[in-house]
Amino acid sequence: MFENSQKTDLSQLGEFGLIEHLTKNIKLHHTNTIKGVGDDAAVIKNGDYLTVITTDMLTEGVHFDLIYTPLKHLGYKAITCNLSDICAMNATPKQVTVSMALSSKFSVEAVEELYSGMLLACEKYKVDLIGGDTTSSKTGLTISITAIGETTEEKIAYRNTAKEKDLLVVSGDLGGAYTGLQVLEREKRIFLESPQVQPDLEGFDYILERQLKPEARIDVVEYLQEIGVVPTSMIDISDGLASEINHICRQSGVGCDLYEEKIPIDPQTYDTARSFNLDPTICALHGGEDYELLFTIKMEDYEKIKGSPLLTVIGHITEKAQGVRLIDKAGNAHNIELKGWNAFSK
């Protein structure tokens, strides 16, 4: 099945290249498996409904740093970032399972704090925590969440179904989680050099919450259902806007024009990025962890979403030959490169 004649470093393929390499030979054996790998979640036919299932892991030292991440916030985020994948299928989250690998440095009270954040998220989103697993770890903490949701064939949204002339829409604003991370990393460096110095986090409440306690945009899924709009394609923004746009375009066989001036960026995100000598647009394109929803709609559905404070039209789908482009504020076109999160980059 795998015929590699020499050793290949994981960084040569990258996260998405590795996934594609490992899954290209998968064969589905059951007719009720509607969608396997390749989207935000798998889809299984379940009577009159579709069951949507996704799994994600958070690993200490890779996805979170306990120097500045409160355990309660971490538990909350572990749930919501998985619920976001369910929302990205235009589905409603229903259940989660929680598995944890814990090292001996964690007390019962610490695990209780972590779990309380998970339960808080489950309560807010009316999701049932129905099981999981615990085991020991020699290297810290790993959390694995499986989320289960429900939708119908009429409402399900995939990544690979965008069409030319569709409008590109995003919820909320972008770049906040990345700039919040810059603030936390700055304060960590200061703490390690001078432990007696108190962290200076005043005035950064919004972007810190975007990083430490993100929300799943179930409200957007519910809003689209209320106004009768079914996205022609959909994905959540976990690895950065540029990465997610490329996923939709590559899997749909289309191109895209994204307009820089239309990208929604909160003033606190903008000002903080500038204070770190960062381009706010780059933060929005490649920062990641915003957990907003990116989707396409038919042009005739524009009037239905027009004026919504939840959504912003940021571009449109084009033919594949035109490529995936950013139209900057001066009107110049640039190819959008993949520079977002890569789990296996060096």
What are the chain's domains?
31-151 (3.30.1330.10), 167-335 (3.90.650.10)
Beta strand residue intervals within 172-310, DSSP E: 233-236, 255-259, 293-297
List Cβ neighbours of 107 (8 Å cut-off, separation of 6 or more).
none
CA distance 214 to 210: 5
Give the residue-averaged pLDDT of 31-58.
Answer: 91
Residue 253 has pLDDT above 70, yes or no: yes
In this predicted structure, what is the pLDDT of residue 13? Answer: 65
CA distance 117 to 213: 10
The better pLDDT of the pair 200, 229 is held by 229
Which of 160, 179, 165, 141 minimizes the C-alpha distance to 57?
141
- Residue 78 pLDDT level (bands cut at 50, 70, 90): very high
In this predicted structure, what is the pLDDT of residue 197? Answer: 87
Give me the chain's average pLDDT, please.
92
CB 116 within 8 A of CB 88: no
- Residue 6 pLDDT level (bands cut at 50, 70, 90): confident
Residue 13's CB: how many other CB atoms inside 10 A?
16
Residue 342 has pLDDT above 60, yes or no: no
CA distance 236 to 213: 16
In this predicted structure, what is the pLDDT of residue 188? Answer: 95
Residue 283: half-sphere exposure toward Cβ, Cα within 13 Å: 29
In this predicted structure, what is the pLDDT of residue 231? Answer: 98
In this predicted structure, what is the pLDDT of residue 344? Answer: 44
Report residue 322 as tokens: 């035109």
Residue 76 has pLDDT above 90, yes or no: yes
Per-residue pLDDT tens over the stretch 296-326? 999 999 999 999 999 999 999 999 999 999 9
Give the residue-averaged pLDDT of 167-188.
Answer: 97
CA distance 268 to 174: 11
CA distance 258 to 236: 17
Model confidence, pTM: 0.91
Report the 3 state secondary structure along 80-127: HHHHHHHHCCCCEEEEEEEEEEECCCCCHHHHHHHHHHHHHHHHHCCC
Per-residue pLDDT tens over the stretch 59-73? 999 999 999 999 999
Give the residue-averaged pLDDT of 235-263.
Answer: 97
Query: Which backbone phi and psi does 33 adopt, to 5 degrees?
Result: -85, 100
CA distance 212 to 276: 19
Per-residue pLDDT tens over the stretch 194-206? 988 888 899 999 9
In this predicted structure, what is the pLDDT of residue 22? Answer: 64
CA distance 146 to 79: 9
List Cβ neighbours of 253 (8 Å cut-off, separation of 6 or more).
160, 320
